[in-house]
Each structure stands twice: as structure tokens, then as C-alpha cells.
Amino acid sequence: MTPIYIASIGSYAGKSILALVMGLRLRDRGLKVTYLKPVGTLPVSEQGIVTDEDALFIARSLGFEGPVAALCPVLLTGDLSERALQGDVASLDDQILKAYRTVSAGADVTLIGGVGNLSRGALVNLSGRRVATLLDSRVLLVARYDSDSTVEDVLLTSDLLGERLAAVAFNHVREEALEHVRGPVRGYLERHGVAVVGAAPRDDVLASVTVRELAEQLNAKVLCCENRLDDLVKHFVIGAMNVASAVRYFREREDKAVITGGDRPDIQLAALQTPTKAVILTGNLHPSSVIVKRAQQVGVPMLLVASDTLSTVEQIETTIGKLRVREAAKVERARELLETNLDFERLFEIIGIGK
């Protein structure tokens, strides 16, 4: 059985979706693949058992039918952190090892999900490096490329992990930086002993958010069209201009959500006349019945929020990029994108997984 630990140098690099795509690819080869997240931070209840949301989603997607309790043996809660600071946490190694044996039983490959960055979990002696060592696993490092300082982070991580590091995969790379990463950056790292298995670009579909997620994150009241809450929003437009400018601007953006004051019926109607996925009404100001009726006719959800427009925009900016990939359309897009841009076969060869 081969374990692969998926780590990152920063949060929200795409570890979970990469693990799922990798698992699906290995499963298509005829291998039995399972998933474990030794340390989690996203508690969710399933059958009365608290586990990690990512662990449950990925494991189930790969066909795991074993005990839910084994998927994430340690959850980093505030209580656990406080106890650790007080010196009141015994070794958690046995819990990790027991879960690993349970989940990996009969599997050809066990994918092990990291949490946050490599230092996360160190408070309870379960940093990424320590867990990878405990489970004798090679490491795939996922790096969200921002600038050449990311290269320095990769080099430092390589020194930290040593021979456990199998390769690095760059993710969420801006279009204008792709050739730089695939050329000079890759060449530099390879010359310094770090295998680079590809660079995947930032993608509008994966960066999108469902109307439902928007409503939940903004604590919004849905005024109509509940049957369209699973539509994907790729762009956000602030409706604060005059109506003539708004119509022209709105027509340039499809799959958008328009953020505007509840007291701007002219902007609201302009949004409903163009391809729009949702209208977010700020200031807790209800629209007129005429507006709601028109929204129902064209199938555009109206979301009412209490915050002002600026605060709403700031909240959305904080949310985007931190949402988990769950929708089937996003999973398929992620698989297409990653399999096109990452050399999984080279990665498997480095780790020792035969064809």
C-alpha cells in the first residue's frame, strides 16, 4: 500500500480538489484508493459522528464505505488548542495510526490530506512534516503561485521535508504568469532538486460560487427563485452608476451577481434585463412587488442583506477563494483542468505507483 500526503505552503491552495482528482485518476486505473485527513478543522456531523467535511466528501466520492469516525481522528478545536497550551494533551499518535490502519485496509493507495499549511497542527505535535513521517508517506506539495517569493517558500519546504518531498504542483496561477512558472521557475527548481509536475491556471468556474453559498455566507434572505440557488456566479458587479451606463456594463458580464442598494429599482431592473444569476440588495431595503415579480419571470434570485454595499462587497471578497468544491460541475471542471496541466504519470512514477 502506498501513502501520499498532500500538503501546501499556504491555505486554500487546492489540496482537497487535487486529492480528489488524483484519487479518481488512480481509481480509473483499477486501483483501490482511499482518503484520510489525520487532522481536520471543518467539523461536520454524519450519523451522529463528528468528522471533517473535506474528509467525508472526498472519501465518499472515492467510494469509501468504512467507519466515518476513522476519516479524521483529530479535529483542531478551540478546546483542544487551549488544552495543548495548558500541557493537558497526551500523544495523539495512536489515534492517527489506528485511523490510518482502518482506512487503508485493503487499499492500493491512501491519499492523506494536509490541513492549512505545514505548521498547522504543531501545537499538538501533528504538523504536516510530523504526520508524513509518522505515516511514512511521500509528500506532494501544492503551491498557490503569487510571485517568485513562492519559489523561496518551496525551497524552504524542500529543506524541511528532505527526501519525503516527491514533487511540487503549482495551482491558481494567473494567466500572465503561466509561461514564467512553466519555464524559468520550473527550470530553477528542477536544477535545485525539486521535481515540478505542472502548473494549473486560475479558472473562472472553480473560482465561482453558487447563489446558495452566497446567501449562506451573507446571511441573506432569499426573496424569490429558490429553484435557481445552485446556479454558479462567476462575476460580481456593483450597481452604483446611472441606469444607462449600468445597462451597457451589465451586458458585458454574463453569469454575474449584481450588488446594489435596495432603493435602486432602476439598477435592479437593468440587471434583470441582462444575463444575471442573482441580485444582492443591500441595506435591508425590500424591493417593490413589481421588481420581485419581474425577477420571478426571468428566474433571478433576489437576496436581501442587512449590510451596506461596501461591507457586502468586502464580505464577498473574503469568501471567494475559500469555498470548497462540492458541485458536480466544479469537480468535472477541476478534473479537466488538473489532468490537462499536471503530469500525474510523472508524479506516480516518482512515488513508485506502477501503471
Distance CA(54)–CA(36), nearest Å, equals 10
- Who's near 197: CB < 8 A, 6+ residues apart? 140, 167, 168, 169, 342, 343, 344, 346, 347
Q: Does the domain at residues 209-319 carry the CATH identifier 3.10.20.30?
A: no
Strand partners, 342: 198
All cell numbers assigned to 315: 464580505
Q: Where are the domains positioned within the chain?
A: 2-203+324-351, 209-319
Query: What is the CATH T-level fold of the domain 2-203+324-351, as seen in this structure?
Result: Rossmann fold (3.40.50)
All cell numbers assigned to 148: 517568485
Bridge-based pairing of strands 276-282 and 235-238 is unpaired
pLDDT in the model for residue 126: 95
Both ends of the chain: CA-CA distance in Å? 15
Taking the chain (355 residues) in runs of 10, the rounded mean pLDDT of each run is 92 88 93 95 87 91 91 92 91 95 94 91 94 96 92 96 96 94 97 96 83 90 94 84 74 87 88 92 92 95 92 80 65 90 95 81
CB 72 within 8 A of CB 40: yes
CB 165 within 8 A of CB 137: no
Distance CA(71)–CA(79), nearest Å, equals 20
pLDDT in the model for residue 324: 62
All cell numbers assigned to 302: 433576489
* DSSP secondary structure letters along 215-253: HHHHTPEE-S-GGGTT-EE-EEEE--S-HHHHHHHHHT-
Distance CA(110)–CA(90), nearest Å, equals 26
DSSP 181: I
Distance CA(213)–CA(203), nearest Å, equals 18
Task: Locate all alpha helices (DSSP H) within the chain, ordered by sequence.
Answer: 15-28, 53-61, 78-85, 93-104, 128-134, 149-161, 178-180, 186-191, 211-218, 243-251, 265-272, 289-298, 309-319, 328-341, 344-351
